Structure 1
Amino acid sequence: MARVRYFAAAAEATGLEAEHRGERTLGELRSAVSSDHPGLGGILPRCAVLVGGARVDDATPLGTDDLVDVLPPFAGG
């Protein structure tokens, strides 16, 4: 199962810092976490979603050892 880590507003929306997921592709994972965590649905399209530290497309397969990071936009200053 891939490990998904949520940061900042994504962690607030899910109530989790991390969870293990069994979806087979990044697209399936996006859809499933939006369904399982409705509060995440509004911000997920604006989030950077990285697999192994890289931006990839939704067709990317997820392996059991993959690390997925969900990073909302950050304001800086």
Structure 2
Amino acid sequence: MTKVRFFAAAEEAVGRDALMTDAVTLGDLKSTLLAEHPALHGLLSRCAVLVDGARVDDEFALAGAQTVDVLPPFAGG
């Protein structure tokens, strides 16, 4: 199982700061998140999604991954 952590607007859209997943690939995870959390539509595509701290493509296999972070764009600085 892989832990998925949500930050800022993504956390608000999902209604919690983390969940566990057994998705096979990052693309599978994204599809599941959109199906289960409609408020992520329009937001998830703008988020940085990092697997164990690295940007990867949707074909990336999550087997052995510890953490997926879903980071929406931040304003300010």
TM-score tier by shorter-chain length is over 0.9
Pairwise CA RMSD: 1.0
Structure 2 length-normalised TM? 0.95
Q: Does structure 2 conserve the Cα–Cα contact (< 8 Å) formed by 1:35 and 1:41?
A: no
Aligned length: 77
- For 1:65 and 1:58, the matched residues in 2 are separated by 14
Give per-residue Cα distances to partners, 1:29-77, cap 9 Å, x unaligned: 0000011000012200000000000000000000254200000000013
Percentage of matched positions with identical amino acids: 57
What are the ranges of 5 or more consecutive residues in structure 1 without an aligned counterpart?
none
5+ long unaligned stretches in structure 2? none
Tell me, yes or no, if structure 1 residue 76 matches structure 2 residue 70.
no
Distance 2:53 2:35 in 1: 24
The within-5 A match list for 1:29-68 is 29-68=29-68
| Correspondence 1:7-46 to 2 at 5 A | 7-46=7-46
CA contact (8 A) 2:51 2:65 kept: no
